[in-house]
A and B are shown apart, each in its own frame.
Chain A
Amino acid sequence: MRRAVEHQRLVAFATALAKTLDVGVSGFSVFFGRVALPLIIVCGMGTVVGRHLRIGPSAELKELESILFFAILMISFGYAYLRNALVRIDIVSQHVPVRARAAIELLGCVAVVFPFCLVLMWDGGESAWRSFAQGERLAIGDWPLQWLVRLAVPLGALLLLAAAIAISARCLLLLLASRTSGATGERMPTPFDHESTP
Chain B
Amino acid sequence: MSLSPGEILALAMLATLALALFSGLPVAIVLMAVGFAFGGLGIFLGLMRAADFGAIYFRVYGALTDSDEILYAAVPLLIFMGSALQKAGLARDLLLGVQGLFRRVPGGLLIAVLVLGTVLSPTAGVIGASVSAMAIMALPVLLQQGYRPADAAGVVGAAGTLGVVVPPGILLFFVADAIGVQVPAMFLGMLGPLALLLGGYLVFVAVFRRPVRAPIASDGSFSERATPRELLLRLAAPSLLIGAILASIGLGWASLSESAAIGAAGAALLGAAQRRLSLADLDAAIRQTLLTTAMVFFIFLGASVFSLVFRLLGGANLIAGALRSLEVGSIGVLVVSLLVVFALGFFFDWVEIVLVTFPILRPVLEALDFGGHIAASHLALYWIAVLLALNLQTSFLTPPFGFALLLLKGAAPPGVTLADIYRGAVPYVVIQVIVIAAVIALPDIATWLPEQAFDLSLPHGGKFKE
Contacts and interface: CB of A to CB of B under 8 A. Distances in A.
Interface of A: 29-30, 33-34, 37, 40-45, 47-48, 52, 62-63, 65-70, 72-74, 76-77, 79-81, 83, 85-94, 96, 101, 104-105, 108, 111-113, 115-116, 119-120, 123-124, 127, 139-140, 149-150, 153, 192, 196-198
Interface class of chain A by DSSP: helix
A72 to B, nearest CB: 7
A168 to B, nearest CB: 12
Given A34-B283, A40-B76, A73-B64, A89 B262 contact: no
A95 to B, nearest CB: 10
Interface stretch (B152-160, B346-354, B444-452): B346-354
Contact of B294 (A76, A92, A149): A76
B208 interface: no
B29 A112 contact: yes
Interface in B332-354: 347-349, 351-352
Contacts of B287: 30, 33, 196-198
13 contacts: A40-B73, A65-B70, A65-B261, A69-B72, A73-B76, A80-B290, A93-B24, A104-B24, A112-B33, A120-B60, A123-B57, A124-B57, A153-B57
Among A66, A79, A83, A139, the most chain B Cβ lie within 10 Å of the Cβ of: A66
Given A65-B73, A72-B290, A108 B67 contact: no
A45 B65 contact: no
A168 B349 CA distance: 26
B77 A40 contact: yes
B261 A104 contact: no
Q: Please classify how large the interface on chain B is, using the bins under 10, 10 to 19, 20 to 34, 35 or more.
A: 35 or more
B253 interface: yes
Given A127-B61, A153-B57, A153-B61, A44 B290 contact: no
B290 A33 contact: yes
B127 to A, nearest CB: 10
Interface of B: 21-30, 32-33, 36, 53-54, 56-58, 60-61, 64-67, 70, 72-73, 76-77, 80, 126, 253-254, 257-262, 264-265, 268, 283-284, 286-287, 289-295, 297-299, 301, 305, 347-349, 351-352, 406
Contacts of A115: 36
B24 A73 contact: no
A191 to B, nearest CB: 10
A55 B32 CA distance: 46
Contact of A89 (B53, B289, B347): B347
A15 B73 CA distance: 37
Given A30-B287, A70-B64, A120-B56, 19 more contacts: A30-B290, A41-B268, A44-B261, A44-B264, A48-B258, A63-B67, A65-B70, A65-B73, A77-B301, A86-B27, A87-B126, A89-B21, A108-B33, A112-B32, A116-B36, A116-B305, A153-B60, A153-B61, A192-B24
Contacts of A48: 253-254, 258-259, 261-262
Most buried by A among B32, B53, B261, B289: B261
A70 B65 contact: yes
B32 A41 contact: no
Contacts of A41: 77, 80, 261, 264-265, 268
Contacts of B257: 44, 65
A7 to B, nearest CB: 27
Contacts of A86: 26-29, 294-295, 298
Contacts of B25: 88, 104-105, 108
Given A30-B287, A72-B290, A153-B57, A66 B66 contact: yes
Dominant secondary structure at the B interface: helix
B295 A33 contact: no
B290 A69 contact: no
A79 B291 contact: yes
A89 B76 contact: no
Contact of A44 (B64, B65, B72, B258): B258
The 10 closest A-B pairs by CB, nearest first: A44-B261, A93-B24, A80-B294, A123-B57, A86-B26, A76-B294, A69-B73, A85-B291, A66-B70, A92-B22
A127 B284 CA distance: 35
A127 B351 CA distance: 30
B53 A119 contact: yes
Contact of B76 (A72, A120, A192): A72
B20 to A, nearest CB: 10
Contact of A127 (B33, B53, B57): B57
A81 B26 contact: yes
A89 B294 contact: no
A111 B284 CA distance: 33
Contacts of A68: 73
